[in-house]
């Protein structure tokens, strides 16, 4: 779309006009998939139907494709009992769905708003915390996992807040909040009274906070070194900070047994042995497998770990999705723009 604009009075002076059809739109990413040059050329990525598959991947890289239909899946989360997957589908809008692994059914979780995603299961598997814009800016709500009842707002924050994990007793919820001054910060919300307290606020970006299975540690990522690495700190602290990754790391997840941390480094799935008794100790990182699975454009995990810690639920692009490699360039496009959207000058 294009509309005439008065740069001195800072206002639109006419009706918007459709200019180009078929430009790629990715709901989970707010950035434009087009741009202009100062000399008047338009460049854009043409729209295609993005479709991915949900796949189990063993620790040695063996794949098993799930029978779920292909969609633009993002952010899968396995329920504590391992029977369901909460996963968002980013197509016309961005909505949360529940995939039943035993019945092979995919059911939309009715919620409201056009963006409902990045969920976290409560330890008892009865509720899901998620990010939604149903009441304005993206914030944290929770909803019964079976779709019954009404969604309830957990946090009221002017900044976008992204839920990540509950403590083992379900009384605390970690989340990352995007502050325009300090970037990504880590907060902890107490469910009983909806009070939130900061855990890490620094000039660096800290995100993806994840409670350890015993609730005494938080894994997270930070770019304080100049690139994202995975760290662990005691909760609620104070205490020493431990660096887990060595050559870059994002998307950290705990093995449910509490004895390993997983993270991704490029196309590599990494594992690190950890122990908290008698003191916290970290082993050497090792590669479990490599693969061209969907990675997050931000920092939130695009995979999950089975309750037994032996399989990974990954998102694998189909051949159609892998064909996002065309760029269209239209030269002298500003001439067409001037003709169709005259400014009167």
The tens digit of pLDDT for each residue in 249-266 reads: 999 999 999 999 999 999
Pairing, β 63-65 against β 217-222? unpaired
Q: What is the pLDDT of residue 267?
A: 94
Residues 75 and 221 in one domain: yes
Residue 143 lies in a domain: yes
Show Cβ contacts of residue 33 under 8 Å, excluding neighbours closer than 6 positions. Answer: 23, 24, 25, 26, 44, 45
- Mean pLDDT, rounded, for 148-161: 85
Residues 131 and 278 in one domain: yes
| CA 131 – CA 119 distance, rounded (Å) | 7
Give, in order, the Cα–Cα distances in Å from 14 to each of 2, 4, 8, 242, 340: 10, 6, 15, 57, 12
Residues 254 and 134 in one domain: yes
Q: What is the pLDDT of residue 43?
A: 95
Question: Which is more confident, 31 or 324?
Answer: 31
Number of domains into which the chain is organized: 2
Place of tokens 């030269």: 331
Residues 182 and 271 in one domain: yes
CB 211 within 8 A of CB 173: no
Residues 271 and 287 in one domain: yes
Q: 2-11, 165-174, 275-284, 290-299: which has the minimum mean pLDDT?
A: 290-299
* Average pLDDT value over all residues in the chain: 90
Residue 135 lies in a domain: yes
Give the helix ranges, DSSP H, for the chain.
Answer: 333-340
- The DSSP secondary-structure symbol of 337 reads H
Q: What is the pLDDT of residue 26?
A: 66
Residue 210 lies in a domain: yes
Model confidence at 295, in pLDDT bands (50, 70, 90)?
confident
Q: What is the pLDDT of residue 297?
A: 63
CA 162-166-168 angle, 5° bins: 165
Q: What percent of the chain has pLDDT over 90?
A: 70
Residue 345 lies in a domain: no
- Mean pLDDT, rounded, for 217-240: 95
- Mean pLDDT, rounded, for 209-234: 96
Residue 295 lies in a domain: yes
CA proximity to 212, closest of 170, 258, 273: 258
Residues 83 and 39 in one domain: no
Q: What is the DSSP string of 263-302?
A: EEETTEEEEEEEE-SSS-EE---EEEEE------SSSS-S
| CA 242 – CA 92 distance, rounded (Å) | 41
Residue 104 lies in a domain: yes
Residues 123 and 76 in one domain: yes
Give, in order, the Cα–Cα distances in Å from 344 to each of 4, 19, 84, 333: 9, 18, 59, 19
Give, in order, the Cα–Cα distances in Å from 324 to each of 2, 23, 50, 293, 315: 25, 12, 9, 15, 16
Residues 329 and 240 in one domain: no
- Mean pLDDT, rounded, for 266-284: 92
CA proximity to 222, closest of 196, 184, 191: 184
Q: What is the pLDDT of residue 118?
A: 84
Residues 41 and 59 in one domain: no
Residues 285 and 313 in one domain: yes
Residue 159 has pLDDT above 90, yes or no: no
Model pLDDT for residues 62-116, shown as the tens digit of each residue:
999 999 999 989 999 999 999 999 999 987 678 899 999 999 999 998 677 677 8
Residues 309 and 244 in one domain: yes
Give, in order, the Cα–Cα distances in Å from 282 to each of 144, 146, 206, 207: 37, 39, 20, 21
Residues 83 and 203 in one domain: yes
Query: What's the half-sphere exposure (Cβ side, CA atoms, 13 Å) at 179?
Result: 18
As given in the structure block, the two tokens for residue 273 are 């042995």
CA proximity to 256, closest of 210, 311, 309, 314: 309
Residue 28 lies in a domain: yes
Global confidence as pTM: 0.84
Model confidence at 324, in pLDDT bands (50, 70, 90)?
low
CA proximity to 224, closest of 238, 239, 245, 252: 245
What's the CATH code of the domain at 98? Answer: 2.120.10.30
Range of the domain at 332: 5-46+324-340
As given in the structure block, the two tokens for residue 232 are 């662990």
Q: 167-171, 219-223, 340-344: which has the minimum mean pLDDT?
A: 340-344
Model confidence at 137, in pLDDT bands (50, 70, 90)?
confident
Model confidence at 237, in pLDDT bands (50, 70, 90)?
confident
Q: What is the pLDDT of residue 113?
A: 66
Q: 95-99, 138-142, 317-321, 334-338: which has the minimum mean pLDDT?
A: 317-321
Residue 219 lies in a domain: yes
Model pLDDT for residues 10-62, shown as the tens digit of each residue:
999 999 999 998 887 765 555 788 999 999 999 998 876 668 999 999 999 99
| CA 267 – CA 189 distance, rounded (Å) | 33
Q: What is the pLDDT of residue 219?
A: 97
């Amino acid at each position: 779309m294009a509309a005439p604009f008065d740069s001195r009075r800072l206002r639109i002076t006419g009706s918007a006009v459709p200019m180009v059809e078929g430009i790629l739109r990715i709901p989970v990413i707010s950035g434009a998939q087009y741009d202009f040059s100062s000399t008047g050329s338009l460049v854009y990525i043409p729209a295609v139907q993005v479709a991915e598959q949900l796949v189990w991947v063993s620790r040695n890289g063996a794949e098993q494709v799930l029978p779920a239909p292909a969609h633009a899946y993002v952010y899968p989360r396995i329920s504590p009992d391992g029977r369901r997957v909460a996963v968002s589908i980013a197509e016309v809008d961005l909505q949360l769905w529940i995939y039943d692994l035993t019945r092979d059914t995919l059911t939309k979780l009715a919620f409201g708003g056009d963006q409902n995603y990045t969920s976290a299961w409560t330890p008892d598997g009865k509720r899901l915390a998620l990010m939604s814009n149903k009441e304005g800016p993206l914030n944290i709500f929770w909803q019964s996992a079976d779709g019954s009842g009404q969604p309830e707002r957990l946090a009221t924050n002017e900044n976008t807040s992204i839920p990540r994990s509950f403590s083992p007793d379900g009384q605390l919820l970690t989340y990352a909040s995007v502050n325009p001054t300090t970037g990504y910060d880590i907060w902890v919300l107490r469910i009983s009274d909806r009070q939130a307290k900061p855990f890490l606020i620094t000039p660096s970006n800290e995100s993806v906070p994840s409670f350890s299975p015993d609730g005494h540690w938080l894994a997270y990522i930070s770019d304080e070194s100049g690139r994202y690495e995975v760290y662990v700190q005691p909760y609620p602290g104070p205490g020493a900070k431990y660096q887990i990754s060595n050559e870059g790391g994002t998307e950290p997840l705990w093995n449910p047994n509490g004895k390993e941390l997983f993270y991704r480094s490029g196309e590599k799935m990494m594992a690190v042995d950890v122990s908290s008794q008698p003191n916290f100790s970290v082993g050497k990182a090792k590669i479990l497998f490599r693969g061209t699975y969907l990675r997050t454009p931000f920092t939130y995990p695009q995979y999950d770990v089975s309750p037994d810690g032996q399989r990974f639920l990954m998102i694998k692009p189909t051949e159609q999705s892998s064909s996002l490699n065309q760029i269209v360039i239209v030269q002298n496009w500003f001439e067409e723009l001037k003709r169709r959207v005259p400014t009167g000058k």
